[in-house]
Structure 1
């Protein structure tokens, strides 16, 4: 068993991004994830827990984080159910000139598509999935933690795996090609000529927007190249007036930041169809409540 020689402050510095990644997977909100992790460490300090007595402190704190996330999901369930339109995760945005060693979260499984798929899972399914995939806990350990039977735990995990029916490794579009296509996307919207990007969209491309009732946007997902191009044309004509777009990194992949007077007012992220170099999903977040945490120097 792993013995721990870290004090609480050292533990926080060493594993902060790891714990935030777990909380973000559970909640889909980077700001809430950071709050959960900070509160968890405050509780550790208040309890004056001697970490040297904990066999696997990383796993121990991870379980605390997951439990707090479950409570948060359950308390916010009604808010999610009455949400106007589609609820999309908060995008994690970094400057395009990023250093891979300086990711906000050191976790390659946090592509935006992955975060969106996590929204299909219930609180229990998320907990089981994260504890199994991230911590590689045994089903018996997860069952004890969540107060369910081991058999039920296995069923929940199997159900969650089916819902998460995508492999992050399937993305065969290189980072360089993604960047190139993103710049075409920015140029097309900035000039108001969206037909320029018709070739980089799949025929069944889908656009999902999240305005949260605070900003007017499509409430239902838009399906097909023709309809998506029509909406992008409207966005370019109306929404882009007086604004500028900037290539950024969204959840460790190239994306687009939209700004007005240096304030973030929108984020585009994309999913790429395997072996085509084409975009098959466009995610468009304009809800200001989900953009306030973003700080990019322009």
Structure 2
């Protein structure tokens, strides 16, 4: 690298987590997000850019990352179409401590429910939404970047925002309540008595599982308290034998980690209803391919 070139290594240290959060929201895969950010910085280093050549290097690299994510989404579309069951994002497990200030990526839009909602968007909708919401770019700037008209860009953003406005209300449930309910959830699983958590579930609660065809689990969404409790009971009495559950932080919120012989075999994430503070969504990832990146300290 030339003496007057951009210090890419310093930039990487400063903004790595930020760029990974953008890529993760686009892809729903932490491992893919890390790969894309790493490859982006390698390409950036090869360019030998002078610092004065770019007004906003953070925005410049973000655009590079988003472009690579769009390409990745388009190339992986067929894989998603043939996926066995429901495709859920890789959960980001951040630690065992009940301390919301210890967020690896400081971003409320990293909530698991938010990343799940991103799956409703097309590759272009995701790109427009992230560039507008995360980077606050103007529509004409986004249009130039994605090679679409400004009018079309506005329409795409409006459509994406409408889809993303479907909120599960998790941000309104006090953290202490979330923590208390997770403790009850773990106790219910451990003692195979799921009826004791009936009161903390909404009547129309939905459980969505992802085994990816590698682990036997429900392929379709399980809807209603009765059916969800029935499945949780089966999990507690059959799948849970020889395993332990631990309270963790998943995507900046309380969640549950399932371990067997110190190996991660499942992750529960949750969404809470705004007015009642009850759990209205349960996301259950048991696909080993989506858990292999998780390390326990």
TM bracket, shorter-chain basis: over 0.9
How much has 1:168 moved relative to structure 2?
A: 7.6
Match of 2:24 in 1: 24
Partner of 2:110: 110
Query: Following TM superposition, by how much is the alpha carbon of 1:49 offset from its aligned partner in structure 2, in angstroms?
Result: 1.9
- Alpha-carbon displacement from aligned partner over 1:240-288 (angstroms, at most 9, x marks no partner): 0000000000100000000000000000000000121210000000000
Q: Is the 8 A contact 1:258 1:267 kept in 2?
A: yes
Aligned to 1:137: 137
Q: What TM-score results when the alignment is normalised by the length of structure 1?
A: 0.95
2:8 corresponding residue in structure 1: 8
Q: How many Å separate the matches in 2 of 1:52 and 1:150?
A: 28
Say whether residues 1:191 and 2:191 are aligned partners: yes
Stretch of structure 1 that moved more, 129-138 or 88-97: 88-97
Q: Where in structure 2 are the equivalents of 1:29-108 lying within 5 Å?
A: 29-97=29-97, 100=100, 102-108=102-108
CA distance in 1 between partners of 2:41 and 2:285 (Å): 31
Unaligned runs of 5+ in 2: none
Q: Is the 8 A contact 2:36 2:65 kept in 1?
A: yes
Question: Aligned partners of 1:7, 1:118: CA distance in 2, in Å?
Answer: 33
1:235 — aligned with what? Answer: 235
Distance 1:45 1:168 in 2: 41
Alignment RMSD (CA, Å): 1.6
How many residue pairs align between the two structures?
294
Q: Identify the residue that residue 272 of structure 1 maps to in structure 2.
A: 272
Aligned counterparts of 1:51 and 1:282: Cα–Cα separation in 2? 47
Contact map agreement 2:120 2:163 (CA 8 A) in 1: yes
SS at the partner of 1:78? helix
Distance in 2, matches of 1:246 and 1:6, equals 44
Corresponding residue for 1:217?
217
Q: 1:204 to 1:122 in 2, by over 3 A?
A: same
CA drift at 1:52: 3.3
- The separation in 1 between residues aligned to 2:119 and 2:18, in whole angstroms, is 20
Q: Secondary structure at the match of 1:204?
A: strand
Tell me by how many angstroms 1:236 deviates: 0.4
Structure 1 gaps of 5+ residues are none
TM normalised by structure 2 equals 0.96
Note if contact 2:169-2:271 (Cα within 8 Å) is conserved in structure 1.
no
- Alpha-carbon separation, structure 2, partners of 1:128 and 1:279: 31
